[in-house]
Structure 1
Amino acid sequence: METASAGTPRPPRLGRRTLLRGGAVASLGALASASAVFAAPGGSGPGGPEPSAPGLLLTKFTDALRVPRVLRPRGRGDHDELTVRMVTADVTVHSGLPPVRMWTYEGSFPGPTIETVRGRRLRVAWENQLSGDLPVTAVDFGAPGGAMADPLSNYPGTRGCREVPGVAGLGPWAAVHLHGMLTGGGNDGWMENLVGPGEVQLSAYPNDQAATTLWYHDHAHHVSRFTVYAGLAGLFVRRDEEERALELPRGRYEVPLVLADRNFALDASGAPSGRLVHKVEMVNTTLMRAHAAPYTLVNGVVWPYLDVEARWYRFRVVNASNARIYRLMLVADGRPVPGALRVIGTDQGLLDRPLTVDGALNLSSGERADVLVDFSAFRGRSLKLVNTMEGVEPGGSSVRHDLLEPDVMQFRVAGRKAGGGGFTPPVSLSPSFRRPAHHDLPHGAAPRWVVLVGPGAANVPELWEMEEMTPAEAADLTLPSAGVVQVRDAGGTVTTLRRTAMHYDDGAAFTAAHGGVEIWKYLNLAASPHPMHIHLAHFQVLSREAYDVSGFDRVVRGSARPVAYLRAQELEPHELGEKDTVRVGTAGLIRPGPDGTPGELVTVVVRFPVVGRGVHHCHMLEHEQHMVRPLVVAPAAHGHAGGHH
Structure 2
Amino acid sequence: MPFTAATAVGGEHSFCQALQPSPTLDPFVDQLPIPATIDTSNGNQDYKITQKLHRDLPPTTLYAYGMSQATATVPGPTLVATQYQTSHVRYENHIPDSETFLITDRTIHWANPPHGGVPIVTHLHGAAVPSYSDGNPDAWFTAAGDHGAAFVTQNYIYPNSQPPTLLWYHDHTVGITRNNVLAGLAGLYIIRSHSEKTAHANLPEGTNEIPLVIQDKQFWPNGSINFPDVGDSPAIHPNWCPEYFGDTILVNGKAWPYLKVHPEKYRFRMLNAANARFFTLSLSNPTLKFIQIGTDGGFLPNPMVLSALTLAPAYRADVIIDFSNIPVGTTVYMNNSAPAPFPDGNPDFSPPSTNSVMAFKIISRPPGSRSPAFAVPSKMTPVPNPTYNLTTDVYRKLTLIELDDASGNPIGSFLNNLSWTDPVTETPKLGTVEVWDLINFTPDAHPIHIHLINFLMLYQQSFNQTAYEANQCTLLKQFPDPSSCFTQPPQQPGVSQVGWKDTVIVYPSAVTRLWTKWSPRNGGSFPFDPTTAPGYLWHCHILDHEDNDMMRPLAVHK
The answer to whether residue 383 in structure 2 is matched with residue 463 in structure 1 is no
Task: Quote how far apart the aligned CAs of 1:355 are.
Answer: 1.0
* Matched-pair contact (CA < 8 Å) for 2:22–2:248: no
Q: In the alignment, what sits opposite 1:252?
A: 207
Aligned mates of 1:250, 1:399 — CA distance in 2: 39
Distance 1:66 1:573, change over 3 A: same
Instruction: Please name the residue that 2:486 is paired with.
Output: 565
Which of 294, 301, 304 in structure 2 is aligned with 1:355? 304
Shift of 1:339: 6.2
Deviation of 1:559 after TM superposition, in Å, equals 4.6
1:426 corresponds, among 377, 384, 402, to 377
Q: Counterparts in 2 of 1:441-456, with a 5 A limit?
A: 444-456=392-404
Task: Find out whether 1:606 has 2:555 as its counterpart.
Answer: no
User: 1: CA distance between counterparts of 2:21 and 2:120?
Assistant: 37
Pair 1:584-2:506 in alignment: yes
1:186 has 2:132 as partner: yes
> What does residue 88 of structure 1 align with?
48
Q: Which residue of 1 aligns with 2:523?
A: none
Distance, in Å, in 1 between the alignment partners of 2:288 and 2:435 is 33
How far does residue 436 in structure 1 lie from its aligned partner after superposition? 2.6
Give the 3 Å change call, closer, same or farther, for CA 530–54 of structure 1 in structure 2.
Answer: closer
Partner of residue 523 from structure 1, selected from 418, 422, 439? 439
Whether 1:116 aligns to 2:81 is: yes
Q: Is the 8 A contact 1:442 1:517 kept in 2?
A: no
1:536 Cα deviation after fit: 2.0
Alignment partner of 1:324 out of 277, 291, 315: 277
Which residue in the other structure is 1:151 paired with?
none
- Distance, in Å, in 1 between the alignment partners of 2:215 and 2:495 is 22
Equivalent runs, 1:72-83 vs 2, <5 Å:
72-73=39-40, 81-83=41-43
The CA deviation at 1:444 is 2.1
Match of 1:618 among 531, 540, 551: 540
Moved more, 417-426 or 173-182: 417-426
CA gap 1:116/1:127 in 2 versus in 1, 3 angstroms: same
Identity across the alignment (%): 29
Partner of 1:57: 24
Q: Deviations over 1:592-637 (max 9, x none)?
A: xxxxxx61211111122333411111110100021111100112xx
**C-alpha distance in 2 between matches for 1:526 and 1:182:** 30
In 2, the alpha carbon distance for the partners of 1:281 and 1:356 equals 44
Structure 1 residue 628 corresponds to structure 2 residue 551: yes
Aligned residue for 2:545, secondary structure, equals: helix
Q: Secondary structure at the match of 1:512?
A: coil
What is the CA deviation profile of residues 175-224 of structure 1, one whole-angstrom value per residue up to 9, with x for unaligned ones?
11111111121211111111111667111121101110000011100111
Deviations 1:37-91 (A, max 9, x none): xxxxxxxxxxxxxxxx996411111100001000113xxxxxxx32111111111
Is the 1:139–1:278 contact (alpha carbons within 8 Å) kept by the matching residues of 2? no
* Deviation, structure 1 residue 170: 6.4
- 2: CA distance, partners of 1:239 / 1:369: 15
Q: Give the match for residue 408 of structure 1.
A: 357
CA 1:339 to 1:577, structure 2 compared with 1: closer, same or farther past 3 Å?
farther
> Partner amino acid for 2:25?
L
Alpha-carbon contact 2:292-2:319 (below 8 Å) kept: yes
1:298/1:170 CA distance change after superposition, 3 Å? farther
Q: How much does 1:517 deviate? A: 1.7
What is the aligned partner in structure 1 of residue 17 from structure 2? none
**1:93–1:100 CA contact under 8 A, matched in 2:** yes
Question: What CA RMSD, in Å, does the superposition of the two structures yield over aligned residues?
Answer: 3.0
Offset of residue 364 of structure 1: 1.0
CA distance in 2: counterparts of 1:374 and 1:571, whole angstroms: 26
User: Helix, strand or coil: the match of 1:513?
Assistant: coil
Q: Which residue of 2 aligns with 1:144?
A: none
Q: Secondary structure at the match of 2:487?
A: strand
Letter matched to residue 317 of structure 2: A
Distance 1:236 1:284, change over 3 A: closer
1:243 to 182, 191, 196: 196
Aligned-partner Cα distance in 1 for 2:117–2:85: 35
Instruction: Give unmatched runs, 5+ long, in structure 2.
Output: 1-19, 67-71, 146-152, 476-484, 520-529
Find the aligned partners of 1:139 and 1:437 in 2 and give their Cα distance.
43
Letter paired with 1:174: I
- Residue 219 of structure 1 corresponds to which residue in structure 2? 172
Counterpart CA distance in 2 for 1:224 and 1:282 is: 17
* Aligned: 1:550 with 2:466: yes
Mapped pair 1:230 → 2:142: no
Whether the 8 Å contact between 1:398 and 1:404 is mirrored in structure 2 is no
Structure 2 match to 1:14: none
What is the Cα deviation at residue 305 of structure 1?
Answer: 0.4
Q: Which sections of structure 1, spanning at least 5 residues, go unmatched?
A: 1-52, 74-80, 141-163, 266-271, 392-396, 466-500, 586-597, 636-645
1:441–1:605 contact (8 Å) kept in structure 2: no
Q: 1:464 to 1:420 in 2, by over 3 A?
A: closer
Amino acid in structure 2 at the alignment position of 1:64 = Q
Partner of 2:4: none
Q: How far is 1:462 from its partner?
A: 2.9
Q: Contact 1:387–1:407 (CA<8 Å) still a contact in 2?
A: yes
Are the structure 2 counterparts of residues 71 and 101 from structure 1 closer, same or farther at C-alpha, using a change threshold of 3 Å?
Answer: same
Aligned partner of 2:251 among 284, 295, 298: 298
Structure 1 length-normalised TM: 0.70
Cα distance, 1:581 vs structure 2: 0.6
Would the aligned equivalents of 2:458 and 2:492 in 1 still touch at CA under 8 Å?
no
Shift of 1:116: 0.8
Change (3 A) 1:404 1:569: farther
Distance 1:297 1:416, change over 3 A: same
The reply to whether residue 66 of structure 1 matches residue 33 of structure 2 is yes
Question: 1:285: how far off?
Answer: 6.0
Structure 2 partner of 1:269:
none
One-letter amino acid of the structure 1 residue matched with residue 171 of structure 2: D
Report if the CA contact (8 A) 2:242-2:412 is conserved: no
> Hey, what's the Cα distance between the residues in 2 that align with 1:435 and 1:330?
32
**5 Å matches for 1:136-535?**
136-138=101-103, 171-197=117-143, 201-245=154-198, 246=200, 247-265=202-220, 272-279=221-228, 282=231, 288-332=241-285, 337=286, 340-357=289-306, 359-379=307-327, 380-389=329-338, 399-405=347-353, 406-415=355-364, 419-430=370-381, 433-438=382-387, 444-456=392-404, 459-465=410-416, 501-535=417-451
How far does residue 282 in structure 1 lie from its aligned partner after superposition?
Answer: 5.0
Structure 2 CA distance for partners of 1:83 and 1:460, relative to 1, 3 Å: same
C-alpha separation in 2, matches of 1:442 and 1:240: 37
Equivalent residues of 2:460, 2:510 under 8 A apart: yes
Post-superposition CA distance 1:484-517 (Å, at most 9, x none): xxxxxxxxxxxxxxxxx51222224211111222
Q: Distance in 2 between matches of 1:634 and 1:506?
A: 18
Aligned pair partner of 1:127 in 92, 113, 116: 92
SS at match of 2:196: helix
CA distance in 1 between partners of 2:462 and 2:295 (Å): 23
Q: Is the 8 A contact 2:402 2:414 kept in 1?
A: no
The residue type equivalent to 1:179 in the other structure is H
When residues 281 and 315 of structure 1 are mapped into structure 2, their CA distance, relative to the original with a 3 A threshold, is farther
Name the CA shift for 1:213/1:441 in 2 (closer, same or farther; >3 Å).
farther
Find the aligned partners of 1:578 and 1:205 in 2 and give their Cα distance. 20
Q: Would you say the 8 A contact 1:134–1:230 is kept in 2?
A: no
For residues 252-279 of structure 1, what are the alpha-carbon distances to aligned partners after superposition, in whole Å with 9 as ceiling and x for unaligned?
Answer: 10000001111112xxxxxx21212223
* Rounded Cα–Cα distance in structure 2 between residues aligned with 1:302 and 1:420: 30
- Greater strand fraction, Structure 1 or Structure 2: 1
**Aligned partners of 1:378, 1:549: CA distance in 2, in Å?**
48
The 3 A distance-change label for structure 1 pair 575 and 338 is: farther
Aligned twin of 1:21 = none
In structure 1, what is the Cα distance between the partners aligned to 2:418 and 2:456?
25
CA contact 2:339–2:346 (8 Å) conserved in 1:
no
Residue 6 of structure 2 is matched in structure 1 by none
Q: Write the distance in 1 (CA, Å) between the matches of 2:491 and 2:349.
A: 24
Work out whether residues 102 and 179 of structure 2, in 8 Å CA contact, stay in contact via their aligned partners in 1.
Answer: no
